[in-house]
Structure 1
């Protein structure tokens, strides 16, 4: 049998085309309403990305896997794009006259500009060019090299009115989010839970987020800096990913704080691995949002105009389960109990699970409710009234109108 020789390979950076860089710069200069959509392909150039946004006064949007690449508090940042993204991000994307795609092969094309606008795409992989949206300028290059060239160009952009309008829109959105976080009701509002998690989080904490409503609440209400890491199954939507993700994060970065945020549906799929975290002595905080149902599925059914079915889950004593595994468990029903439990969990030296009972009627509405979704909700309401002779409980009208209009 032939003997295979060991070989080493080194990725070769593509040679940047200065002509393409200049073409892209020309489009950026003449645009009135440019928008950046950045993905994980720009993570190693996050400093240069922010410099580009500030130099040319361009609002920044990120894909969900890239959350944390730009600090949530940056004045030019509009959050992430998509169904669980922000309304300002969606509206900026529909108003733009120049789309700048940086390191992303964003698959949800319905959230990209509905009309064809000029587009610049920068990526190190040529096969991604014009894959989702036709690009007028394609720059195959290392992201840091391209952005550095643009940043050192002798070009000045001041007082771009579109950026100011986006910033005002974002301030309005943030005021809505703050209203949600201030809720002190029982059962607990998931938004309030996220606000309290922020209070005990380290600047370089790693968040491992499950798929479901926990994705929505974490994405919108956790305020990340660019030292944080945000792990989730963004493209495949794999339920149960929070706990194994937290175990992997603690193995890779044992010195860092690791926080998993999951639901009872996702956690119950992999809960046996809590024993693994205990066995390998991996201190972490697992926040379980317990609403005894598959809540995200419930609202997907409603948005599709279907009646709810097969969404109920048993009310398990998850805190007791954690204790029986050798970790610590806290049963939480009020905001005061949540604050105390998080403070204790922060200093515990074993895996900790907080079984937080949250409002099952907290609706993970899209940042922007599209017309097809609105028709689905109306159809669901009609079927519920006809078949069950009752009116389904919906979010407050004020919240619905804010997201729809």
Structure 2
């Protein structure tokens, strides 16, 4: 019995594990959405396609399973672009069904015609047209398999009239999920063992590619007496139950992690393709292990580049290594890490109840949120507070925009995560700038009855940009935001809304917010004059910030300089 292309695409996606489709219905996908209606797929009707792509990426990142977006021709599909870039860079297995105008009009300048392939081939692991009805299952299965096995977005382009075509569907193409054991060859492992056995100060540096291998990394660290530093993206699985963890490196990291990397004579980069060359050690030997050979030596020159799964490689490597006692390198790093954690707590303290530091707000959230809560954070300062002040315990999950660095990702990603985990606490840490950029889909939370909890860090500014400008010695330009009362707005939209202006009211309001049965907003007025302090202050940064102070005073803003000093340097 023949089926339409729409029915075949929907059926193939279901077989690949997809549960829902995010999008906005209309013209060129109406036949596909009708097939979705008649299938076991759920349609999540978003108000902006970018939110749909971010939500799908959030769902797939956390579950590891396939999610789907679908868009109409021209602007409908183009609105997905930023969310697709974000999801692809996160390694989220998403399939985008990007429709186009009818085939008879292609190439004739018809309204809404867009060459979808040119748009999406730069941000996908697969991008292909269904050119004939008999390709429908085959192309869709290939797309789903590419998304799941290559960890990224796959795009299937379908002309609107193609969805109505019928196909015999005689060959049942399906999705395969191989799980090979991958490690370097014995000669390479012997070379690596020799480097390790000869080194005096070894640091392990774990990235997102080490997910699922934390037990093996812990065993390697204990065997070598080596500190474990990690990237921001691997926080959730490296921090818990890792006795030799010394934190993160990079501009958002802590001093212990940075020094452990900088002071070693052998750095073992495991599943990390860390972007910032200036944070690699200047004199140490570097070994990089990655599942993708094209990543080797991409960020910094390496002495030995190896391809393999982190867990499989460590299992084969350990018998080749001489055990060693913990030395000064590890002891010093652990001591510094304890000081870093204490420093984070101290920056959250403030005797004035009318001044709420974002660090203090996040510390209260950390204490009151569920042990298995899932957190997202907007690009900018909210992701810093998440990374530094929310504790990982092996059950909690974290998602921030660390590779794409977009605004307005937090609550759209939380939307998709909540759809996948309706019984878990999902909390979005939103900047007021990010929150207000895509506010329309607050209505989606209400309409879909998704109990996402949104915490708004309301400092009436684009705070991270303001900090960037000040570090450059510039006056903050065009960063001020005139915000509504987000709590009142929330209630007008049909969700619970709470507002806090005093530290003494925070805990009771947060408990009520977390207990609200549906979606809810907690709008908290936080200190605007808050610097995101890097793990090490460079003299150039001090000079530039001082230059900002001089300019501000000359422009009649001395009160801001005094408050900045009081809140960040004098306590």
Partner of 1:171: 338
Quick check: 1:142 aligned with 2:309? Answer: yes
Partner of 2:523: 355
Contact 2:357–2:530, Cα closer than 8 Å, also in 1: yes
Partner of 2:286: 119
Which of the pair has the greater relative contact order for Cα pairs under 8 Å at 6+ separation? 1
Q: 1:401 to 1:74 in 2, by over 3 A?
A: farther
Normalised TM-score (structure 2): 0.66
Partner of 1:27: 195
Q: Choose from 186, 192, 214 the match for 2:382.
A: 214
Deviations 1:208-261 (A, max 9, x none): 011111111111111112222110110211011111011111112222211111
Equivalent positions of 1:34-49 (< 5 A) are 34-49=202-217
Q: 1:370 to 1:129 in 2, by over 3 A?
A: same
Q: Distance in 1 between matches of 2:504 and 2:416?
A: 31
Quick check: 1:230 aligned with 2:398? Answer: yes
Deviations 1:301-345 (A, max 9, x none): 011121111011113110011111111011112233211122122
Quick check: 1:203 aligned with 2:376? Answer: no
Q: 1:74 to 1:142 in 2, by over 3 A?
A: closer
Contact 1:361–1:393, Cα closer than 8 Å, also in 2: no
Aligned residue for 2:558, secondary structure, equals: coil
Gaps of 5+ in 2: 1-131, 139-172
Deviation at 1:28, TM superposition (A): 2.2
Partner of 1:160: 327
Partner of 1:393: 562
Aligned residue for 1:68, secondary structure, equals: helix
Deviation at 1:378, TM superposition (A): 2.6
Aligned residue for 1:65, secondary structure, equals: helix
Q: Distance in 1 between matches of 2:209 and 2:438?
A: 30
Deviation at 1:398, TM superposition (A): 10
Aligned residue for 1:308, secondary structure, equals: coil
Aligned residue for 1:356, secondary structure, equals: strand
Q: Choose from 180, 185, 191 the match for 2:347.
A: 180
Partner of 1:79: 247
Contact 2:355–2:503, Cα closer than 8 Å, also in 1: no
Contact 1:206–1:230, Cα closer than 8 Å, also in 2: yes
Deviation at 1:163, TM superposition (A): 0.4
Partner of 2:537: 369
Q: Which runs of 4+ in 1 moved over 4 A?
A: 7-15, 394-402
Deviation at 1:397, TM superposition (A): 7.9
Aligned residue for 2:371, secondary structure, equals: coil
Q: 1:354 to 1:389 in 2, by over 3 A?
A: closer
Q: 1:37 to 1:393 in 2, by over 3 A?
A: farther
Q: Distance in 1 between matches of 2:540 and 2:176?
A: 49
Q: Distance in 2 between matches of 1:30 and 1:396?
A: 48
Aligned residue for 1:69, secondary structure, equals: helix
Aligned residue for 1:393, secondary structure, equals: helix
Q: Distance in 1 between matches of 2:424 and 2:381?
A: 25
Contact 1:294–1:311, Cα closer than 8 Å, also in 2: yes
Deviation at 1:195, TM superposition (A): 1.1
Q: Distance in 1 between matches of 2:562 and 2:195?
A: 49
Q: 1:389 to 1:123 in 2, by over 3 A?
A: closer
Contact 1:319–1:331, Cα closer than 8 Å, also in 2: yes
Contact 2:190–2:320, Cα closer than 8 Å, also in 1: no
Q: Distance in 2 between matches of 1:51 and 1:310?
A: 50
Contact 1:184–1:192, Cα closer than 8 Å, also in 2: no
- Aligned residue pairs, count: 401
Deviation at 1:8, TM superposition (A): 4.4
Quick check: 1:251 aligned with 2:419? Answer: yes
Aligned residue for 1:231, secondary structure, equals: strand
Q: Distance in 2 between matches of 1:187 and 1:70?
A: 33
Quick check: 1:193 aligned with 2:361? Answer: yes
Give me the CA root mean square deviation.
2.3
Q: Choose from 324, 340, 344 the match for 2:492.
A: 324
Contact 1:207–1:230, Cα closer than 8 Å, also in 2: yes
Q: Distance in 2 between matches of 1:59 and 1:183?
A: 33
Contact 1:32–1:160, Cα closer than 8 Å, also in 2: no
Contact 1:73–1:223, Cα closer than 8 Å, also in 2: no
Contact 1:204–1:228, Cα closer than 8 Å, also in 2: yes
Q: Distance in 1 between matches of 2:238 and 2:338?
A: 17
Q: 1:401 to 1:93 in 2, by over 3 A?
A: farther
Moved more, 192-201 or 17-26: 17-26
Normalised TM-score (structure 1): 0.92
Q: 1:384 to 1:232 in 2, by over 3 A?
A: same
Q: 1:74 to 1:140 in 2, by over 3 A?
A: closer
